[in-house]
Structure 1
Amino acid sequence: MLCVTGQSLGDRSQWLSVGGVCRESRRHAARADDRGQARWRGLLRHHLLPRLNEFLELFAYNAWANRTIFDAVAQLPDEQYFRDLKSSYGGIHGTLAHIVWAEQLWLHRWVGKPNPTVPQGTDLKSLTDVRGRWEAVEAERGRFLDAFPESRLEDTRLVKPSSGGEYVHTYGQMFRHFINHSSYHRGQIVTFLRQLGVTPPSTDLILYYRRRG
């Protein structure tokens, strides 16, 4: 590989290459990247890490968004509500059951309970069943969060996914995943409603802020 000396950077020359990056340039870039990553990790940890109040706000948003979706799909005839739309969990009912099951699963991990007995909420046979279980999960989650101190956000738990493996996550990481997971699948339900010719509700976070005032 041909390397030529380029513009000086302090007491170190920047190396250019023909057909690739020479070894000196790679080492210099790697060291610079490591320093940059360390700097950002420090900023995130000490200055930008969301505190408990922000998580509580996102949990409140999640509850509002779920109830908005429940109210919307309650207007559908059974044929549309249960129709198989060829998605990961079938259609609207299967996706809602998955959301509720996953929210219960994560709550059980946080409080140290066994996983829900029936996977993927397949024991939920109607929208009434789905919403009833979710309201119970939401109430239990509220009690858990009421007693959860900010000092525990960086505490960890061992998580064993059904797909295998063992992973250690902080509560902060798990809280973020929980919010993201439910939002992702609510987005699928919005698409299902459009496929059925129904105007879906908006569950954007910014709308929650505007309506909350």
Structure 2
Amino acid sequence: MTPDALVALLDYHYWARDRLLDAVERITPEQFREDLANSFPSIRDTLIHLVSAEWAWYSRWNGESPGQPLPLAGLETVEDIRTRWMQEEGRVRRFVGGLGPDGIKRTFRYTLLDGSPGSSVYGQSVQHVVNHASYHRGQVVTMLRQLGAQPPESQDLAAFYRR
């Protein structure tokens, strides 16, 4: 993996995020919070999990190990989540942009939310952030379909490359 390849992966990640959030903005607040019995009960909860995970990884990259997920306060609407996620995007992009070819291969240590120790390679953890989000974006697409809502435009990596 090269720094340019990681940046391209982040470009894809945030492009797909925006397509998903555009679709979610079209549902009602009640649908946004409806318990659909998924990994996380609602679309809102799933999106908050994604922002929280990105925030936790960024914190770990900077030597901090959060002991709990991102607080939910202020994340009531799709726009609240979009705004917070865009803040995380700026931080993530600046961090990854500063790693360089040697930095993406370095290992860092941290503590997981459950208190157990962890270690990862910077570049691999960035890949994980993108892969993790892809998994949960797919769940949100399924939840939108369960609600009878229009799913987002394709979020496939191939669609991103073809654009």
* Aligned counterparts of 2:96 and 2:131: Cα–Cα separation in 1: 18
5+ residue gaps, structure 2, are: none
Match among 192, 201, 205 for residue 157 of structure 2: 205
* Aligned counterparts of 1:146 and 1:162: Cα–Cα separation in 2: 26
Give the residue type in structure 1 aligned to 2:106: D
User: Highest Rg: 1 or 2?
Assistant: 1
Residue-by-residue CA offset, 1:43-93 (whole Å, 9 max, x unaligned): xxxxxxx22211111011000011111111101111111111111221110
* Aligned counterparts of 1:81 and 1:176: Cα–Cα separation in 2: 28
Give the residue type in structure 2 aligned to 1:203: Q
SS at match of 2:129: helix
Map residues 66-81 of structure 1 onto 2, 5 A cutoff. Answer: 66-81=17-32
Match among 112, 120, 125 for residue 161 of structure 1: 112
Name which structure has the greater RCO, CA cutoff 8 Å, separation 6+.
Answer: 2
Shift of 1:105: 0.8
Match among 54, 67, 77 for residue 103 of structure 1: 54
Q: What is residue 12 of structure 1 aligned with on the other side?
A: none
Shift of 1:99: 0.3
Whether contact under 8 Å (2:34, 2:42) holds in the other structure is yes
Whether contact under 8 Å (2:46, 2:140) holds in the other structure is yes
Give the residue type in structure 2 aligned to 1:209: Y
Which has more strand, going by share of residues? Answer: 1
Q: What is residue 93 of structure 1 aligned with on the other side?
A: 44
Give the residue type in structure 1 aligned to 2:147: L
Shift of 1:152: 1.1
SS at match of 1:119: coil
Shift of 1:121: 4.6
Residue-by-residue CA offset, 1:125-164 (whole Å, 9 max, x unaligned): 2222211110111111122122221111221111211134
Q: What is residue 103 of structure 2 aligned with on the other side?
A: 152
| Percent identity between the two aligned chains | 38
Whether contact under 8 Å (2:105, 2:122) holds in the other structure is yes
SS at match of 2:119: strand
SS at match of 2:40: coil
Shift of 1:167: 2.0
Q: What is residue 31 of structure 1 aligned with on the other side?
A: none
* Aligned counterparts of 2:71 and 2:17: Cα–Cα separation in 1: 16
Shift of 1:102: 0.4
Q: What is residue 8 of structure 2 aligned with on the other side?
A: 57
Q: What is residue 128 of structure 2 aligned with on the other side?
A: 177
TM-score, normalised on structure 2? Answer: 0.91
Moved over 3 A (4+): none
Query: Alignment length, in residue pairs?
Result: 161
Change (3 A) 1:121 1:92: farther
SS at match of 1:159: strand
